[in-house]
């Protein structure tokens, strides 16, 4: 150590020794030395070394894709007038396997990020049957069918939500919550979380409610979800005329209204048959998904159905405006042709083309056309 450095450190050393118990004389000498050092510091200020701050570079926002699959009416139960040897209960009691019902489509639902269906009927052991033509009730344990089928969410706002009174409606909601199945029902919005994104859901029913009530529920539901800062909004609409392929004015008007208010996807049901697809202001509207795992009919004459699938791309917290085209997967509500075995499955060959052409025909008047790209059928705005 050179002499200059040793001289600079001397006051500090003396101060430390004084604190350890040195004599007052030494303390006085240390004080005089310290005063001199301070005077020199005042006369000749030392320059601080320059500190270079490197600008932090923000990494590019990572892209995240969310694939949503949507299917139609699922009824885990049958009406009292159904044939006891062929109804939903008889099949369930025979197979004794909750995986059975969605086994043929579970690979599709397992590999997406969210699957949503319309739950048409109640899951309860209580209540009196409503005075109506058809009423559906399944055991609360039937909710396991959804879990085993990789179905994460349901819309629960339709004309069969209270088939066994208000208690059946409350019981079904409690059952969905017990089995951790996300749902939306009238004024109750739902949120499903996946890959760090929050998918908000609104569900309303125009068959048992007025048009204005549905409109209010759509508006207020979307407002609630926006306040919760969800990343994506799905509106499920139960509306239309049964067994017709043409959407009604109410279906179109309410669906358009939902998109204007902020819905990214609108899913329709109630007609029990397929209807067309429209792309409105950048959002797809599926006017009717038809039946799917439907215990309401032991042998429906029209077994055509489909899975609608769309992938949404986010960059950071932002949903990209330009999205990949949606696609449909043609299916049958039953794995058998002669009867409904309540096991929907994808179809191929002539049946595949028949269903695809059917939906394409319904969609043409709505401005949507279908194309084939790399062997995959997609629906895109013409």
The tens digit of pLDDT for each residue in 300-343 reads 999 999 999 999 999 999 999 888 889 999 999 999 999 999 99
User: For the purposes of burial, counting CB atoms within 10 Å of the CB of 155, is it exposed (0-12), middle (13-18) or buried (19 or more)?
Assistant: buried
Report CA-CA distances (Å) from 329 to 102, 168, 282.
Answer: 15, 33, 21
**Per-residue pLDDT at 36:** 40
* Measured distance CA(9)–CA(23) in Å, rounded: 20
**Per-residue pLDDT at 323:** 82
**Per-residue pLDDT at 35:** 43
Per-residue confidence at 8, pLDDT binned at 50, 70, 90? very low
**Whether residue 148 has pLDDT greater than 70:** yes
Residues 23-31: what's their mean pLDDT?
A: 42
**Whether residue 33 has pLDDT greater than 70:** no
Q: Is residue 184 within 8 Å of 201, Cβ to Cβ?
A: yes
**Per-residue pLDDT at 380:** 65
Residue 266: CA atoms inside 13 Å, Cβ hemisphere, count?
33
Per-residue confidence at 60, pLDDT binned at 50, 70, 90? low
User: Token pair of 320, please?
Assistant: 């990209």
Q: Using the 8-state DSSP alphabet, how is residue 242 labeled? A: T
Per-residue confidence at 40, pLDDT binned at 50, 70, 90? very low
* Ranges 5-19, 73-87, 138-152, 280-294: which has the least confidence: 5-19
Q: What is the pLDDT of the chain when averaged over all its residues? A: 87
**Per-residue pLDDT at 61:** 79
Closest CA to 157 of 138, 183, 178: 183
pLDDT digits (tens, 9 = 90+) for 69-101: 999 999 999 999 999 999 999 999 999 999 999
In the three-class reduction of DSSP (H, G, I as helix; E, B as strand; rest coil), residue 111 is classed as coil
Q: Using the 8-state DSSP alphabet, how is residue 150 labeled? A: T
Tokens 């194309």 -> residue? 371
Per-residue confidence at 9, pLDDT binned at 50, 70, 90? very low
**Whether residue 285 has pLDDT greater than 80:** yes
Q: String of b and e for 20-49 (b: at least 16 CB within 10 Å)?
A: eeeeeeeeeebeeeeeeeeeeeeeeeeeee
User: For the purposes of burial, counting CB atoms within 10 Å of the CB of 65, is it exposed (0-12), middle (13-18) or buried (19 or more)?
Assistant: middle
pLDDT digits (tens, 9 = 90+) for 250-277: 999 999 999 999 999 999 999 999 999 9
pTM: 0.83
Tokens 């629906």 -> residue? 379
Tell me which of 246 and 59 has the higher pLDDT: 246
**Per-residue pLDDT at 26:** 43
**Whether residue 379 has pLDDT greater than 90:** no
**Per-residue pLDDT at 322:** 84
User: Token pair of 241, please?
Assistant: 């005329």
User: For the purposes of burial, counting CB atoms within 10 Å of the CB of 147, is it exposed (0-12), middle (13-18) or buried (19 or more)?
Assistant: middle
**Per-residue pLDDT at 166:** 98
**Per-residue pLDDT at 373:** 67
Closest CA to 100 of 76, 70, 125, 120: 76
Q: Who's near 244: CB < 8 A, 6+ residues apart?
A: 271, 273, 275
């Amino acid at each position: 150590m050179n002499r200059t450095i040793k001289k600079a450190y001397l006051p500090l050393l003396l101060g430390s020794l004084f604190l350890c118990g040195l004599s007052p004389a030494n303390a006085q000498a240390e004080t005089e030395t310290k005063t001199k050092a301070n005077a020199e510091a005042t006369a000749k200020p030392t320059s601080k070394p320059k500190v270079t701050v490197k600008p932090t570079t923000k990494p590019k926002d990572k892209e995240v894709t969310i694939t949503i699959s949507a299917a139609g009416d699922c009824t885990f139960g049958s009406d009292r007038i159904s044939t006891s040897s062929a109804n939903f209960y008889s099949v369930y009691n025979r197979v004794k396997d909750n995986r059975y019902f969605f086994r043929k489509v579970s690979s599709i639902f397992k590999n997406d990020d969210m699957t949503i269906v319309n739950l048409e009927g109640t899951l309860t052991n209580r209540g009196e049957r409503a005075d109506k033509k058809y009423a559906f009730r399944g055991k609360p344990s039937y909710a396991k069918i959804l879990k085993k089928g990789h179905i994460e969410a349901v819309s629960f706002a339709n004309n069969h939500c209270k088939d066994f009174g208000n208690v059946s409606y409350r019981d079904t909601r409690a059952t969905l919550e017990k089995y951790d199945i996300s749902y939306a029902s009238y004024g109750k919005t739902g949120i499903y979380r996946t890959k760090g994104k929050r998918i908000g859901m609104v569900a309303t029913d125009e068959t048992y409610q007025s048009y204005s009530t549905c409109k209010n529920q759509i508006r207020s539901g979307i407002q609630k979800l926006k306040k919760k800062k969800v990343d994506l909004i799905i509106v499920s609409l139960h509306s239309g005329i049964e067994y017709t392929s043409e959407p009604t004015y109410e279906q179109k008007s309410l669906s358009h209204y939902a998109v204007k208010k902020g819905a990214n996807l609108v899913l329709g049901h109630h007609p029990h048959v397929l209807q067309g697809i429209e792309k409105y202001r950048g959002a797809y509207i599926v006017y009717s998904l038809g039946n799917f795992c439907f215990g309401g009919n032991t042998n429906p004459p029209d077994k055509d159905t489909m899975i609608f699938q769309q992938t949404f791309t986010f960059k950071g917290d932002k949903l990209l405006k330009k999205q990949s085209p949606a696609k449909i997967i043609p299916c049958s509500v039953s794995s058998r042709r002669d009867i409904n075995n309540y096991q929907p499955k994808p179809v191929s060959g002539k049946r595949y083309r028949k269903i695809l052409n059917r939906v394409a025909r319904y969609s043409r008047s709505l401005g949507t056309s279908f194309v084939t790209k790399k062997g995959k059928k997609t629906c895109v705005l013409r």
